[in-house]
Amino acid sequence: MISNILLVDDEAAALKLLADILSDEGYRLRPFNNGELALRSMAAVPPELILLDIHMPGMDGFEVCRRIKANPQLREIPVIFISAATELEEKVRAFQAGGVDYITKPFQKEEVLARVKTHVTLNHSLKEMKRIAEELLKSEANLKIAQAIAHLGHWEWDAHAEQFSWSEEAYRIFGFEPQNFPQDYDTFLRIVHADDRERVADSLKRLQSGSGFDIEYRIVLPDGEVRIVHCKSQLIKLGDDQKPKIFGTVQYFPQHDQATVLGIIQDITEHKKLEWRLEQLANTDALTGCASRRHFLETAEQEILRIHRYGGELSVLALDLDHFKAINDEYGHHAGDLTLKKLVEVCRGLVREVDMIGRLGGEEFAILLPATSCARAFEVAKRMCNAVAAAEVPLPSQTSLRFTTSIGIASFSEGDTCIDGVLSRADKALYEAKKQGRNRVARSCIIDPLVANAAFSA
* Catalytic positions: 363
- What does 316-352 look like in DSSP terms, one character per residue? EEEEEETTHHHHHHHH-HHHHHHHHHHHHHHHHTTS-
CB-CB contact of 170 with 230 (8 Å): no
Spatial distance between the Cα atoms of 81 and 9, rounded to a whole number of angstroms? 10
272: phi then psi, degrees, rounded to nearest 5: -70, -40
**Interatomic CA distance for residues 21 and 18, integer angstroms:** 5
Is-contact 359 341, C-beta < 8 A? no
109-150 vs 324-331: helix crossing angle, rounded to 10: 100
Backbone angles phi, psi at 373, to 5 degrees: -75, 170
Q: Cα separations (Å) of 283 from 189, 280, 297?
A: 37, 5, 11
Nearest-angstrom CA–CA distance, 442 and 7: 38
Q: Report the distance separating Cα 3 and Cα 120, nearest Å.
A: 10
Q: Which amino acid is at 119?
A: H
Please give the biggest Cα pair distance in the chain. 87
Number of other residues whose CB lies within 10 A of the CB of residue 305: 13
Instruction: Specify the DSSP class assigned to residue 210.
Output: T
Cis peptide before 449 (omega within 30 of 0): no
